[in-house]
């Protein structure tokens, strides 16, 4: 599907209650790091790749391994093994690393050896000796790595392009980069149809990697429009995958990237509303749906979601009403005041004495 048409009816992503359709023409967040304070632990067998490089698989990948001069895309975190100091994290910059095997920088030799043994989607832990890292001198600029430091890499291998000549993105023309991104987007859409959501997201992330912020900043006019026509649908498709995977916060972020470019993008508003509703952010979700309906008043999916929110609000109101009713209980009925017979007796006695006194006074006269 060059374009995954939503039945040519401008549907906002749903053909039924549970299906979300991918968009046409991002950074994706894969599995969150296992341990934000240090390298993760791996229980798998240690594989010796080189005298100075070992690997442990955290999550298996799929497909083929990259060959020499393949352009690889990956996220990684790196620590010095002795001090457990994290000195680099591509996730923090939301930008995957592009590395051409056989043309990597000297300090990434060990990382490249590990990467050449991995499959797309694989998540692994690499231990690299200092000889294949930052060497005897280390690095005192960025990143800051002490001398003779062995390194631990946590690598998430997104995927690779087989380019025999080892042509990196920076050496491509604008048309080549947009074309490569579009091919990745279409591959992702095919995987989405097969419900291979994680694999689809890898393709979308690779498409976005071809059109990073540095590249987009240089584009104007028709070239920027061409790039956005591929980039924004990748973000929307990411949101669709993430909603299905119940990673709603990430889906909201992907929609937000599109809305930063197109504030009235109906599909971005709709999918952000879906994610917000799932998180219980009903007021924000309603705001998104109402804004989307303003630009697509006939769309049944929007009407259905607004109706679901209205029914939810009604159910919450009824539940609260029952809670308050039980909390305060029924209003007590007024009871007749009980007669105080002691007071009544003394009142009668005083009246009797007063009467006798008056009678005695009349006789004296």
Assess if residue 91 is contained within a domain: yes
- Do 57 and 143 lie in a common domain? yes
Q: Which of 92-96, 106-110, 139-143, 203-207 has the highest mean pLDDT?
A: 106-110
- Do 193 and 301 lie in a common domain? yes
Task: Give the mean pLDDT of 107-114.
Answer: 95
Q: Which of 161, 185, 200 is the last residue of a domain?
A: 161
Assess if residue 265 is contained within a domain: yes
Q: Which of 161, 182, 199 is the last residue of a domain?
A: 161
- Do 199 and 298 lie in a common domain? yes
Assess if residue 274 is contained within a domain: yes
Chain centroid to Cα 282, Å, comes to: 18
Assess if residue 341 is contained within a domain: no
**Per-residue pLDDT band at 328 (split at 50, 70, 90):** low
Assess if residue 245 is contained within a domain: yes
Buried b (16+ CB within 10 A) or exposed e, 93-110: ebebbbbbbeebeebbbb
**How much of the chain exceeds pLDDT 70, in percent?**
80
Average pLDDT, the chain: 83
- Do 216 and 303 lie in a common domain? yes
Task: Give the mean pLDDT of 120-138.
Answer: 94
User: CATH number for the domain including 80?
Assistant: 3.10.50.40
- Do 155 and 203 lie in a common domain? no
Give the model's pLDDT for residue 16.
40
Nearest of 35, 58, 238, 47 to residue 155 by alpha carbon: 58
- Do 197 and 258 lie in a common domain? yes
Buried b (16+ CB within 10 A) or exposed e, 224-238: bebbbebbbbbbbbb
Domain that holds residue 208: 172-312
Give the model's pLDDT for residue 92.
81
Assess if residue 12 is contained within a domain: no
Cα–Cα–Cα angle for 27, 30, 36, rounded to 5 degrees: 105
Q: Using one digit for the tens of pLDDT, what is the confidence trace for 35-62? A: 457 899 888 999 999 999 999 999 999 8
Q: Is 200 exposed, middle or buried (0-12, 13-18, 19+ CB in 10 A)?
A: buried
Assess if residue 24 is contained within a domain: no
Q: Which of 142, 161, 180 is the last residue of a domain?
A: 161
Give the model's pLDDT for residue 327.
62
Biggest CA–CA distance in the chain, Å, is: 143
User: CATH number for the domain including 293?
Assistant: 1.25.40.10
Residue 329: CB atoms within 10 A of its CB come to 7
How far is residue 362's CA from residue 281's CA, in Å, rounded to a whole number? 90
- Do 178 and 151 lie in a common domain? no
**C-alpha atoms less than 13 angstroms from C-alpha of 178 in its C-beta half-sphere:** 16
- Do 191 and 270 lie in a common domain? yes
- Do 149 and 67 lie in a common domain? yes
Task: Give the mean pLDDT of 293-297.
Answer: 94
Q: Using one digit for the tens of pLDDT, what is the confidence trace for 55-64? A: 999 999 988 8
Task: Give the mean pLDDT of 257-275.
Answer: 95
Total domains in the chain come to 2
- Do 255 and 130 lie in a common domain? no
Q: Using one digit for the tens of pLDDT, what is the confidence trace for 216-255? A: 888 889 989 999 999 999 999 999 999 999 999 999 999 9
Q: Is 250 exposed, middle or buried (0-12, 13-18, 19+ CB in 10 A)?
A: buried
- Do 236 and 305 lie in a common domain? yes
User: In 3-state terms, what secondary structure has residue 57?
Assistant: strand
Q: Using one digit for the tens of pLDDT, what is the confidence trace for 332-357? A: 565 555 556 777 777 777 777 767 76
- Do 283 and 204 lie in a common domain? yes
How far is residue 145's CA from residue 204's CA, in Å, rounded to a whole number? 33
Q: 0.75 cut: is pTM over it?
A: no
How far is residue 25's CA from residue 229's CA, in Å, rounded to a whole number? 6
Assess if residue 358 is contained within a domain: no
Q: Using one digit for the tens of pLDDT, what is the confidence trace for 313-326? A: 888 777 777 777 65
């Amino acid at each position: 599907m060059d374009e995954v048409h939503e039945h040519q009816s401008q549907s906002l992503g749903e053909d039924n209650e549970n299906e979300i359709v991918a968009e046409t023409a991002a950074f994706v967040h894969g599995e969150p790091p296992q341990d934000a304070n240090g390298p993760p632990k791996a229980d798998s067998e240690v594989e010796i790749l080189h005298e100075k490089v070992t690997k442990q698989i955290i999550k298996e990948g799929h497909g083929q391994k990259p060959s020499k001069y393949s352009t690889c895309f990956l996220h990684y975190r790196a620590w010095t093994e002795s001090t457990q100091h994290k000195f680099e994290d591509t996730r923090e910059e939301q930008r995957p690393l592009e590395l051409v095997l056989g043309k990597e920088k000297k300090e990434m030799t060990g990382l490249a050896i590990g990467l050449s043994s991995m499959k797309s989607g694989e998540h692994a832990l690499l231990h690299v000796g200092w000889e294949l890292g930052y060497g005897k001198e280390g690095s005192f600029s960025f990143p800051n790595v002490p001398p003779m430091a062995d390194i631990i890499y946590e690598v998430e291998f997104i995927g690779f392009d087989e380019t025999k000549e080892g042509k990196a993105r920076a050496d491509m023309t604008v048309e080549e980069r947009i074309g490569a991104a579009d091919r990745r987007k279409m591959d992702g859409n095919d995987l989405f149809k097969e419900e291979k959501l994680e694999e689809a997201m890898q393709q979308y992330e690779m498409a976005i990697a071809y059109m990073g912020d540095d590249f987009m900043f240089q584009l104007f006019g028709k070239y920027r429009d061409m790039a956005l026509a591929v980039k924004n649908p990748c973000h929307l498709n990411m949101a669709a995958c993430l909603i299905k995977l119940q990673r709603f916060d990430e889906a909201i972020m992907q929609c937000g990237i599109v809305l930063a470019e197109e504030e009235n993008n109906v599909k971005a508003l709709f999918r952000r509303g879906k994610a917000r509703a799932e998180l219980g952010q009903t007021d924000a979700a309603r705001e998104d749906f109402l804004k989307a309906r303003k630009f697509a008043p006939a769309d049944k999916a929007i009407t259905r979601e607004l109706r679901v929110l209205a029914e939810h609000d009604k159910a919450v109101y009824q539940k609260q009403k029952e809670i308050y009713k039980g909390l305060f209980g029924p209003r007590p009925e007024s009871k007749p005041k009980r007669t105080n017979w002691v007071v009544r007796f003394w009142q009668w006695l005083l009246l009797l004495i007063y009467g006798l006194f008056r009678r005695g006074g009349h006789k004296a006269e």
